[in-house]
Amino acid sequence: MFSAFGKALGQLGDPRFRRVVLIGIGLAFLMLVAVTAGSAALIEWLVPASVSLPWIGPIGGLDMVAAVFGSVAVMLFLSIFLMVPVAALFSGLFLDGIVDAVEQRHYPALPAPQPVPFGDILVDTVNFFGLLVAANVLALFLFPFAGPLIPVVFWAVNGLLLGREYFTMVAMRRLGRQGAKALRARHAGKVWMAGALMAAPLSIPILNLVIPVLGVATFTHLFHRLNATSSA
């Protein structure tokens, strides 16, 4: 698992890796700006421009202050809790390019993979994005009961989903959907652990824009290792 991540890290300079990272950064930035601006406008609309306090008189500019602090809070929330599904969405859409780069460099003798229609990739990625959002929203309600184990809950929930989805998407290029699910089921513990190791740094802003690319590359190495073991 760690050797697979090391190989993925060693290929980070690959132009195809950099392209996906830059696209992910650009899309995430645009989404963050749009949501933050929308939140600021909504807060400014909801909060009165001024209030009148006894012995003090009218105080203005409350809507602007609330908009600034509210939008910062929304941005922090998105960067911590929702960047996992957002990063997963972006990397899922460009997964094929990363897997091709890894296989061409480390597994050049492999035959061409089974083509997966972009429509199927899009549907799977959007469905996975919705599942991750729902899981993270549900986790928010569990956090008050988790106490100091909040990071563990966050990593465990997202690790289960990330490992399940990324491994399946990588494996189905070689084994088809049913074969990918069967292999994942035989190695569920290792897949979950790899997903949890990927989910941990995804909670760190900025770094979480690079980790999905490394995660896809890592799962590509993990898939080939587990598939070779199962076939032996």
pTM, entire model = 0.73
**Rounded Cα gap, residues 101 and 213, in angstroms:** 11
SS3 59: strand
Distances in Å between the Cα of 191 and the Cα atoms of 62, 67, 159, 184, 185 are 49, 42, 9, 7, 9
Q: What is the pLDDT along the chain (232 residues), one digit of tens a residue?
A: 678 878 888 888 888 888 887 877 777 777 777 777 777 677 666 655 544 545 554 555 555 655 566 666 666 666 655 666 666 666 666 777 888 889 989 998 888 887 766 677 677 777 777 777 777 677 667 667 767 777 777 788 778 888 888 888 888 888 888 888 899 989 988 898 888 888 777 767 667 777 778 888 899 999 999 988 876 5
> What residues contact 7, with CB distance under 8 A and at least 6 apart?
102, 106, 217, 218, 221
Domain containing residue 184: 2-231
**Rounded Cα gap, residues 134 and 88, in angstroms:** 14
**Rounded Cα gap, residues 4 and 136, in angstroms:** 27
Residue whose pair of structure tokens reads 């957002």 in the numeric block? 86
Count the domains in the chain.
1
What tokens appear for 59 in the block?
A: 């105080």
